[in-house]
Structure 1
Amino acid sequence: ASDLIKFFSVIIKVCVVIPFFCVFLCFVAIMLQIFASHRQFLDTSRYILFAHLLINDTIHIVSSVLTFLTLMGQVKLPLLFCVPLFFVSTGTFQNTTLILAAMSLERYVAIFYPLQCPNSWRSDRVWIIALPLWIISFIFPIIEYFIGKDGQSVDVLSTNMLCKNTVMNSSPIHELYRLFVNVLSFAVVGVIILFTYVRILMETRKMRQDRASVSKAMHTVLLHGFQLLLCLLGFTQPIFITLIGLHTNWLGEDIVFLNFFCFILIPRFLSPLIYGFRDQSLRKHIRNWFLCCSKKEICLFLCRSRLHPFCL
């Protein structure tokens, strides 16, 4: 009976996660399609960096969902498959904060250097900013994986384990390294976002003309701060797991699920959703996309029913 209850519990958890995952993928696909089909977005550094954020968060959620499914099923995979999942999941988690810092700095440059924008921040060269962020974010998990390794050869095909960071890198030095990297990256990004917000706020008080655009930039940076707070929810996982374990009799699988749903899936789902619908230009194109799709569906239905005059 207990095995049957556990089986249905896993099925319910998967049925909760997969719809969220599919909706997120659909929404991201729509926004990326809008970016690719409208030149105004491709010619703006801010939207290019936001597209990087969307791609990064999508990769992170895909790797996290795959890891979640293997943990729910208690499936042990060869090290050859677990290590890339670990690199991708950890690297994209770090990269989110770095891209948010870059987006805040882009608003700072756009306000303070509107006519003398540095070449690296131009839309056709913003990859010079984005590429190092991707490289730096993936260096951290590579260093973490090789810390403390004694050089002994391991059969990556026959060594099976749960694809979990704390299983692959469980020594105290790994935990200390993870804490150091996370605190350092979030502290640096937090300082950058706070600095840009304060400077733009001061500029808003000085300027008499074009206050609207400066105020809009200030609110955008504030939104990046909120997105950073959503990412910071990931740091509350150990505290949350400890409190749940002390005050409840929940199974480990249930705690893992609640932790994944509340601190990984929901924040990554909300971040692009809030930013996408807040932006006026992007919101207009998203609305037009849905209206266009709904009209196509209606016309297709009428044609199939022989009710549309052009289909008669």
Structure 2
Amino acid sequence: MTSNSSLVGSDLMQQQIKAIIVQILVMIFLCINLLLIITFYTKECFYTTPRYILFAVTLLSDSLLLFMSDVLLIFTYFYLTMQVWLCIIISIPILLYLVVTPVTLTAMTLERYVAICVPLRHGELCSTRNTMRSILIIHGLSSVPCIVVLCTLFASASLSFYKQHSLCFVEIFFLYRWQDHVRSAMYQFYFLIMCIIIVFSYVTIMKVARAASGEDKKSTRKGLRTVLLHGFQLLLCLIQLWCPFIETAVLQIDFRLFINVRYFNYIMFRLAPRCLSPLIYGLRDETFFHALKNNVFFCFFKRNV
């Protein structure tokens, strides 16, 4: 009896330590994202330039996703249950913004493609008004997988299912194996299209880079590095979307192992990439970096950019 109670106490302490570590990391990364968002609003050139507007969309979507997924992670750690209908409402923004960031990265890649390969039409195609419209299109396209997941659930579950109490994670929405296959097919199709767009943009920009000279060549090479960065970020997002499939398989084997795998995936493939990649992108841009440095050091390094 004493041995069992000590094991339970040890498990509880481990869960508490893990939860504390996650909260510290989430707070750090949310503060970093908040600083980047504040920097975005410090200069008019940021919120009137398409690539900065889209960058801000990724910051906001990643911050919201971090916060919401962290709340659900805490609920899972401490075995706090809720009714399924409430879990559905909480999971909707998570399912939506899980896809918003990669779709936005693809839009940013297309913006760089237009700026380098079709420079004469860049001002027309990538105006502020068109960028705002593209944000609506991004959210519309990103909502399709969420709608499909919810439709398969509503078509399969009885009314009593929504009143049941359960731990809140997306896997409880898949009552049958075919529902998980439908979600997998949707995600793979989206990322196939996005990868094709990024590869096409990179190859086309590379051709322009070979034909360019002087300042144009330098600008084009910078565009190539930006597209590569978007491709790397998209790869991280793809790995993140594979995590639920791994977690679903582990859940059928052992629930405690599922909790540990979910914790590892959250730290490695959800928390770190969605916070570090926006920071890297912000530091690469000279204009944004100077504005960020001014905010961090309270304007001691003011300079005209």
Q: TM-score range by the shorter chain?
A: 0.7 to 0.9
In the alignment, which of 79, 83, 88 is matched to residue 83 of structure 1? 88
Match for 1:266: what amino acid? A
**Secondary structure of the equivalent of 2:120?**
coil
Partner in structure 1 of residue 3 of structure 2: none
Mapped partners of 1:249, 1:80: distance in 2: 22
Q: Which has the larger radius of gyration?
A: 1
2:216 is the counterpart of 1:217: no
Give the whole-Å Cα distance in 1 for the aligned partners of 2:175 and 2:238. 22
After superposition, give the CA deviation of every residue in 1:193-225 in whole Å (9 maximum; x if it has no partner). Answer: 111111001000011241111111111011000
User: How big is the shift at 1:188?
Assistant: 0.7
1:182 deviates by 1.0
Change (3 A) 1:75 1:274: same
Which residue of 1 is the match for residue 115 of structure 2? 110
Q: Which residue of 1 aligns with 2:281?
A: 275
User: Counterpart in 2 of 1:129?
Assistant: 134
Question: Which residue pairs with 1:146 in the alignment?
Answer: 151
Aligned alpha-carbon RMSD (Å): 2.5
Residue 301 (structure 1) aligns with: none
- Normalising by structure 1, we get a TM-score of 0.86
The Cα of 1:70 is off from its aligned counterpart by 0.9
- Unaligned runs of 5+ residues in structure 2 are 1-5
Distance 1:184 1:288, change over 3 A: same
The counterpart of 1:186, out of the listed 187, 191, 197, is 191
Please state whether the residue corresponding to 2:27 is helix, strand or coil. helix
Which deviations, in whole Å up to 9, do the C-alpha atoms of 1:89-122 show, x marking residues without a partner? Answer: 1111111111011000000111122222364521
- Given candidates 38, 42, 50, the residue that maps to 2:43 is 38
Aligned to 2:166, the other structure's residue is in SS state: strand
Match of 1:288 among 289, 294, 301: 294
- Partners of 1:7 and 1:13 lie apart in 2 by 10
Tell whether the 8 Å contact from 1:120 to 1:128 is kept in structure 2 after alignment.
Answer: no
SS of residue paired to 1:126: helix
SS at match of 1:37: coil
Match of 1:11 among 11, 16, 19: 16
The answer to whether the aligner puts 1:24 opposite 2:32 as a matched pair is: no
The amino acid across from 1:143 in the alignment is V
Does residue 265 of the first structure (1) align with residue 256 of the second (2)?
no
Mapped contact 2:250–2:257 kept (Cα < 8 A): no
Are 2:261 and 1:255 equivalent residues in the alignment? Answer: yes
CA distance in 2: counterparts of 1:238 and 1:19, whole angstroms: 24
Shift of the alpha carbon at 1:257? 1.1
Percent same amino acid among aligned pairs? Answer: 28
Distance in 2, Cα, partners of 1:23 & 1:211: 38
Cα offset for 1:41?
A: 0.7
Moved more, 5-14 or 251-260: 251-260
Find the aligned partners of 1:240 and 1:135 in 2 and give their Cα distance: 27
Deviations 1:134-168 (A, max 9, x none): 12212321221221525743475x42221111112
CA distance, structure 2, for counterparts of residue 79 and residue 241 of structure 1 = 19
TM-score, with length taken from structure 2: 0.88
Equivalent residue, structure 2, for 1:195 = 200
Deviation at 1:75, TM superposition (A): 1.2
CA 1:115/1:82 → structure 2, altered by over 3 Å: closer, same or farther? Answer: same
- Looking at structure 2, the residues matched to 132 and 39 of structure 1 have their Cα atoms a distance apart, in angstroms, of 24
Shift of 1:252: 3.4
Q: Which stretch of the first structure deviates more once superposed, 117-126 or 253-262?
A: 117-126
- Spell out structure 1 runs of 4+ moving beyond 4 A: 238-245
Distance 1:43 1:93 in 2: 26
1:167 aligned partner: 172
Distance 2:87 2:265 in 1: 20
Show CA shifts across 1:159-182 (max 9, x none).
Answer: 222111111223112111111011
Partner SS, residue 178 of structure 2: helix
- Aligned partner of 1:55: which letter? L
1:207 aligns with 2:212: yes
Matches for 1:90-105 after TM superposition, within 5 Å: 90-105=95-110
For the Cα contact (< 8 Å) 1:97–1:185, is it kept in 2? no
User: Could you tell me how far apart the structure 2 residues matched to 1:249 and 1:62 are?
Assistant: 24
